[in-house]
Amino acid sequence: MNTRVALSLTLALFFLCGADAATITFNNKCSYTVWPGTLTGDQKPQLSKTGFELASGASTTVNVPSPWSGRFWGRTGCSSSSGKFTCATADCGSGQVACNGKGAVPPATLIELTVASNKGKDYYDVSNVDGFNVPMSIAPQGGSGQCKKSSCPANINNVCPAELQVKSGGKVVACKSACLAFNKPEYCCTGTHNTADKCPPTSYSQFFEKQCPDAYSYAFDDKNSSFTCSAWPNYTITFCPAP
C-alpha cells in the first residue's frame, strides 16, 4: 500500500469513527457561579474540557466525538485553599478545576448522554439517582425522532427532607438520595433487590419524582425518564433552567 492510499484510509477512518459528532453548549442561568464537570465512560479518552468555571449568565461549548458515552454535572461552592481546589457539592476530588477523569462525589444532579455512531439513536437523561445539588436540563438542537428536552428545573434543596439534607454554612446545598443516606438494598436496588420487580419506588424516590417528573428518581425509573434523538443533534445543557 503506498503512502497516499494509506493516508486516505486513515483520514476516512477518522471522519467515520473519531470526528466530532456533537457540540455541547453549557448555559448558566443560575444567580451564582457553577463549575461544570465532564466524565467520559468506558475508559475512553476524556474530552478537551473535564472541568471549568461558568459564571452566572455565561456559556461555553465542548465538542463530543462519536461514539461517546459519559456524564456532565455542576459543582457549587468552589474555592481554592492552600493551592487545592474544592467544592461544597459534587466535588470530583482532583484538587483542580479540571476533573481529569474523576467523577462527581454524590449527591449530584447528573446528565447522562450516549452519542451513537453513524448518526444512530442517542440516549440522554437527567438523573437524581445520586441525589441532587443543582437544577439542570439537556435539550437536543436539530436531529430527528422524539428529541424532547429532559429537565429538572425544581430546586429540590428548598424542600429536601431533613434526613437527606447536606448543609454548608447553615444552608441546604444538596439533597442526598435515600441510597446514599441509608445504604440499604431496598433504596440502592442492590443484593436481593437488584431487579425492577424487587425494587419498586419508595417514598423517597417518589419525592424526587414529584419534584422532577422527567428525571430519573431511582435506578429502575426508566419509563418516563430516558429520552432519544437521532442523526447527531447538538445539545444545550442549562443550569437552573426555566420551569
Weakest mean pLDDT among 19-23, 28-32, 87-91: 19-23
Q: What is the pLDDT of residue 5?
A: 39
pLDDT tens-digit map of 135-185: 999 999 999 999 999 999 999 999 999 999 999 999 999 999 999 999 999
In terms of Cβ atoms closer than 10 Å to its own Cβ (0-12, 13-18, 19+), residue 217 is buried
Instruction: Provide mean pLDDT across the span 194-208.
Output: 96
Q: What domains does the chain contain, in order, with CATH numbers? A: 17-156+213-239 (2.60.110.10)
pLDDT tens-digit map of 67-124: 999 999 999 999 998 889 999 999 999 999 999 999 999 999 999 999 999 889 999 9
Instruction: Provide mean pLDDT across the span 30-44.
Output: 97
d(CA 216, CA 133): 14
Residues 6+ apart with CB under 8 A from 159: 211
Cell of 240: 437552573
Q: What is the pLDDT of residue 7?
A: 37
Strands 35-40 and 68-81: antiparallel
Location of C-alpha cell 448543609: 167
> Would you put residue 84 in left (φ > 0), alpha (ψ -120 to 50) or beta?
beta
Task: Say if residue 21's pLDDT is above 90.
Answer: no
Residue 202's CB is within 10 A of a number of other CB atoms, namely 16
